[in-house]
Amino acid sequence: MAGKSKIKSQSVVRKWPKSEIIRRISDEEKKAFYHQLKVARIEANFTQAQVGKMINRSRSQISKIESGKCRLYMDEFLKFMKIYRKSPFFFYSVFTTNEIIKSPRRARVKSAKQF
């Protein structure tokens, strides 16, 4: 009986070749991904405060998400995609290209107080 369960469990486990192992995401790729979040917000003409109200977060939390200091959960990411009207590829393209997208200048957005 013990022999059968051992054989059964071995057939379920697959050994992945080294070439198929998923690599770690580099810091540059993470920065580029979060930069894309900010770019999408700016292109959609929203402030951090406006987006925060839409997803029940503070402006500070949106700022932390955009800078990579706060974890971005999948459900929130889906909300960002819907609000900004961007496809997943817009954000994930930074992982499929050899060059990381770099901003020539820091984009500035008016604060919510100026509206």
Q: Tokens 């979040």 appear where?
A: 37
Q: Is residue 111 part of a domain?
A: no
- pLDDT over 50 (residue 55): yes
Residues 15-39 have pLDDT tens digits of: 655 554 566 778 888 888 999 999 9
The answer to whether residue 64 sits within a structural domain is yes
Sign of the CA dihedral with 58 first, then 88, 81, and 21 last:
negative
Q: Is residue 10 part of a domain?
A: no
- pTM tops 0.75, yes or no: no
The boundaries of the domain holding residue 85 are: 25-98
User: Which of 30-34, 41-45, 77-81 shows the lowest per-residue confidence on average (mean pLDDT)?
Assistant: 30-34
C-beta contacts of 77-80 below 8 A and 24+ residues apart: 79/54, 79/55, 80/37, 80/40, 80/41, 80/51, 80/55
Quick check: is 2 in a domain?
no
Q: 112: closest CA among 63, 47, 37, 38?
A: 47
Q: Is the residue at 45 inside a domain?
A: yes
pLDDT at 95 over 80: no
Q: Which residue has the higher pLDDT, 114 or 37?
A: 37
Q: What is the CATH number of the domain that holds 68?
A: 1.10.260.40
How many domains, the chain?
1
Flag whether 106 is in a domain: no
Whether 113 maps to a domain, the answer reads no
Estimate to the nearest angstrom the gap between the alpha carbon of 31 and the chain centroid.
Answer: 9
Q: What pLDDT sits at residue 53? A: 97
Predicted confidence at residue 19, as pLDDT, reads 52
The pLDDT mean for the chain works out to: 76
pLDDT at 109: 47
Q: Is residue 60 domain-resident?
A: yes
